[in-house]
Structure 1
Amino acid sequence: MPTPELLQALDQRRSVPSKQLRAPGPDDDTLLHMLQSASRVPDHGKLVPFRFIRIQGDARQAMGDLLANRTLQKDPVAPASVVDKDRGRFSDAPLIITVVANLKPGHKVPLQEQWLTAGSVCFALLQAAQAYGFGAQWLTGWAATDPVINAALDLGPDERIAGFIHIGTAVMEAPERERPDAAALLTDWHGQP
């Protein structure tokens, strides 16, 4: 039986390291289509527990400077190599979409389900980028949970970063890696003993 086209896209999905992403990135119309597609995820209660923050152009360097300064604030004797690495985290891909989980505590839909919706958006955005021929990588790292970085991105008290999605044109084909064997992960439940 031939593999349906959508499954072929899933089977070929791979992350392109952000250091291997360059301009051009998607134009505004393409990006909006990608975000619209990525928003079509399971969303119990129709809460839309996510939003997007675009980081591009000079804002990438500003974010890198913020990360470097925060690193030194947390550890004034941090090695220069660590500070430089943080300064360069947002400098390669021409576009970074921050997917923010916009959580609704106290709602009948559990927070875990809201988080899973935001995580599904991250994955769907990777798929949308690949469908348009771009490379992409979903990253978090320490910056995603740092209160100073979250404040600089104007996150509300019930918002968290689900992922920084780095998007651009791949300068190399991402190598395939070993994938888990689904058969080894599958068990059957036969009812209570």
Structure 2
Amino acid sequence: MTSLDLLLSRFSTDALTQPAPDPAQLERILSAAMCAPDHGRLRPWRYVVIRDDARAKAAELIVASMKRLDPDVAEAKIEKRRGRFSTMPLTIALGMHLRPDHKIPLIEQEMAVAAAAMNVLNALHFTGFGGVWVSGDVTYDPQLAAQLGFPSPHRLAGFLFVGTPSPDAKSPRRRPVDGYVAQWDGVPVHFAADEKSAD
């Protein structure tokens, strides 16, 4: 399998089991972040690794955030999220160490964080592990962000659930790329993927 074949076989999954990467493996995987595009070399990505007994503590912070954001949140939703955060083999909180007053626009700092996270997801796949990037309302709770080490103006970008894909984890059917590509010839382009008939 070529490197490109390997990249094209990557998919996100939360059907994850043990083992998660050990500390040495994880250090190498997270080192892939340092290769991400990064205007100004600000390196705005930060990673909080949550494993073992800390998973249950993190799950309770998530539940408290859910209740703070929506006092009427359904109990079933609470239990689903508590279960996910407390049982995933490993969770990585994705932090954004932002510098609002820097000459590099915030959007470019945020894009660098996203590029680094994608590098991490690819590195997980390349080393036989799997993962999925999740967000949701709690991602935008400044109190939760501060509890995880990201006080304002820093923020969360979401969480990576990490582990070994279970045997029944399957790649989704991929659409062909041609609907998302257009050749520019001096006038605004249109994309087939944006047509109303596209499902």
Please say whether Structure 1 and Structure 2 have the same fold, judged by a TM-score greater than 0.5.
yes
Paired residue for 2:141?
Answer: 146
Measured in 2, the distance between the counterparts of 1:75 and 1:45 equals: 38
- Indicate conservation of the 8 Å contact 1:103/1:114, yes or no: yes
Q: What is the root-mean-square deviation of aligned Cα atoms in Å?
A: 1.9
Normalising by structure 2, we get a TM-score of 0.86
Paired residue for 2:131?
Answer: 136
Asked if residue 63 in structure 1 is aligned to residue 45 in structure 2, the reply is no
Change (3 A) 1:14 1:69: same
Paired residue for 2:195?
Answer: none
C-alpha distance after superposition, 1:63-99 (max 9, x if no partner): 1112223333444443321221221231232211112
Measured in 2, the distance between the counterparts of 1:130 and 1:73 equals: 35
- Indicate conservation of the 8 Å contact 1:98/1:161, yes or no: yes
1:40-79 equivalence runs, <5 A = 40-79=35-74
Secondary structure of the residue aligned to 2:84 is coil
Q: Output the amino acid matched with 1:70.
A: S
- Indicate conservation of the 8 Å contact 2:65/2:138, yes or no: no
Uncovered stretches (5+) of structure 1, i.e. residues with no partner: none
Change (3 A) 1:191 1:25: same
- Indicate conservation of the 8 Å contact 1:135/1:169, yes or no: yes
Identical columns (%): 34
Asked if residue 191 in structure 1 is aligned to residue 191 in structure 2, the reply is no
Paired residue for 2:23?
Answer: 28
Paired residue for 1:177?
Answer: 172
**What displacement does 1:180 show?**
3.0
Q: What is the aligned length?
A: 188
Measured in 2, the distance between the counterparts of 1:84 and 1:16 equals: 20
Asked if residue 16 in structure 1 is aligned to residue 13 in structure 2, the reply is yes
Secondary structure of the residue aligned to 1:98 is strand
**What displacement does 1:43 show?**
0.8
C-alpha distance after superposition, 1:156-177 (max 9, x if no partner): 3121212311111222342222
Paired residue for 1:97?
Answer: 92
- Indicate conservation of the 8 Å contact 2:36/2:116, yes or no: yes
Paired residue for 1:5?
Answer: 2
**What displacement does 1:131 show?**
1.2
Task: Indicate the larger mover: 134-143 or 88-97.
Answer: 88-97
